[in-house]
A and B are shown apart, each in its own frame.
Chain A
């Protein structure tokens, strides 16, 4: 399933946005334009439906409450509004979507100022399944502290929506957290976005799947990492901990399997990106995949994403990528669409724009997104 369109009001630095989404979306914008805040909408929805202690209250608490989540530029309307249309196929945007979900959240006016559901609706093929607040909500305000979506006994008729958000995967691997996980004892975040649990994730796959995915990763790594010969998964004989090992060709033929703490940052990130692309057919949020990678590799990320996803047995899945990289956007053969994030002037929220018809024609004529789109997002950046 895919999200085909969205409406956003007063979410962090977005006061208002109505957007259409495609299978692969690249988000371009200057620093602090709100790329991560945009991706956070999907993580927020995932936190709401998370079966391990999620929920509306928890999702907002972990973001610092309503005050930190609601747009500072919001004036008239105090509520956060999110609306999603979901479709089984993105081939057509016309007609009723398979599913539609609306959630408005406001702050309790007195007492603890808890976030409350102001409006919640779900539709299947244009037909409304439920609408809140309903008469029982009006009798018992406590009910408004939870969404129906997060409750298994309430969401039976539209569980597809909850399942979609539950599976959203956010990847922003910080290699140091993986390399030094023994030495820095950090709380593992619920959904493990920074890669501390990446090795456990590999270990949890069945052997057949693991071998097949690691083979594909090895095939790609050999092309981009000089002298690399093999990549394998092992368990430490003493501690039982999972590890990745790589072998390089050098003058000592029988020595030199290196473990992940000796891998370069770029190698680790690349492994994590490819593993993620191969492992899921749900929505993936990919934050700056170009980090620590050589220009030549970065240039190939768009085709890596495309090819890797073609090679999976299961198809489908949407992917949202945030990037600043000229090299990534210089690829001549793009499969994907673009959002341009433009910070508002004079205290307005960030605007989300799509390339103009002229821009599209220029890219069709042979210029790259880096030539045409990146300059558009840099107009608000001054020289030092």
Chain B
């Protein structure tokens, strides 16, 4: 009799609300084809608010990773040169050594921000905002500041109050409804597989989760 493999439980750490929703969506999507399901521990993913807090935890990730204790972390590359450089820096791996993290750690970097993963599904995004998809950049992984790009499109092309309120005000980098609207889009409309065709970092993340 075939017995089903036990689910893999994850402690998961992300930087902000859009990343949290993206992580949940990715797990759900990947689980559709996985026999051994990837499950977040209750209450996770937890939002660290800023990459510094996440970076501080990396040494602990190395210490705690062991069979049965899995860790998923998602961070934005931001201004750093490339993902391997960030991982070397955060985990203290010297440049002459190979990057080899424990198999229980799934550490993923969005190039350059999770917003580029979202922008990568521009068909759904255009549909969601009821504007044409030519407004969105074709290869968002190449954008220096994907969030700025997204906000610019919203600023120029949308009129609805709820979208206008996504725009930053004097003291914040995003507006009061930014997270809420984006969370709704990611959860309901965003298609990670379609998006992965336009974003290499997302495509690698999905593959990593499929093969975990």
Contacts and interface: CB of A to CB of B under 8 A. Distances in A.
Q: Do A and B interact with each other, yes or no?
A: yes
Interface of A: 358, 361-362, 364-367, 371-372, 374-379, 383
A127 to B, nearest CB: 43
Nearest to B179: A383
Interface in B42-66: 42-44, 46, 57, 59-64, 66
Interface string B56-84: 01011111101011000000000000000
B43 A375 contact: yes
Contacts of B28: none
Interface secondary structure of A, over-half rule = helix
Nearest to A342: B42
B41 A376 contact: yes
Given A365-B60, A378-B43, 20 more contacts: A358-B9, A358-B41, A358-B69, A361-B64, A361-B66, A364-B63, A365-B61, A365-B63, A366-B57, A366-B59, A366-B60, A367-B60, A371-B13, A374-B43, A375-B42, A375-B43, A376-B43, A379-B42, A379-B43, A383-B180
Nearest to B13: A371
B11 interface: yes
A35 B66 CA distance: 33
A365 B66 CA distance: 11
Greatest chain A CB density within 10 A among B60, B68, B69 is at B60
Greatest chain A CB density within 10 A among B9, B46, B68 is at B46
Nearest to B61: A365
A374 B59 CA distance: 20
26 contacts: A358-B41, A358-B68, A358-B69, A362-B60, A362-B64, A364-B63, A364-B64, A365-B63, A366-B57, A366-B60, A367-B57, A367-B64, A371-B13, A371-B46, A371-B57, A374-B46, A375-B41, A375-B42, A375-B43, A375-B44, A376-B41, A376-B42, A376-B43, A377-B43, A378-B43, A379-B43
Contact of A366 (B44, B64, B69): B64
B122 to A, nearest CB: 27
B186 to A, nearest CB: 14
Interface residues of B, number: 19
Given A367-B57, A367-B60, A367-B64, A362 B11 contact: yes
B133 to A, nearest CB: 29
Contacts of B66: 361
The 10 closest A-B pairs by CB, nearest first: A366-B60, A365-B64, A365-B63, A375-B43, A379-B43, A375-B46, A376-B43, A362-B64, A367-B60, A365-B60
A23 B207 CA distance: 48
A138 to B, nearest CB: 49
A377 B62 CA distance: 25
Interface of B: 9, 11, 13, 41-44, 46, 57, 59-64, 66, 68-69, 180
A367 B62 CA distance: 11
A372 B57 CA distance: 11
A327 to B, nearest CB: 12
B100 to A, nearest CB: 18
A371 B60 CA distance: 11
A358 B8 CA distance: 13
B14 to A, nearest CB: 11
A372 B63 contact: no
A381 to B, nearest CB: 9
Greatest chain A CB density within 10 A among B13, B57, B66 is at B57
Contact of B63 (A366, A371, A376): A366
Nearest to A377: B43
Contacts of A361: 64, 66, 69
B188 to A, nearest CB: 15
Contacts of B41: 358, 375-376
Nearest to A366: B60
A364 B63 CA distance: 8
A256 to B, nearest CB: 36
Nearest to B56: A366
Contacts of A379: 42-43
B204 to A, nearest CB: 26
Contacts of B44: 375
A364 B69 CA distance: 13
A93 to B, nearest CB: 26
Contacts of A367: 57, 60, 64
Contacts of A372: 11
A365 B41 CA distance: 17
A361 B65 CA distance: 9
A383 B59 CA distance: 31
Contacts of B63: 364-366
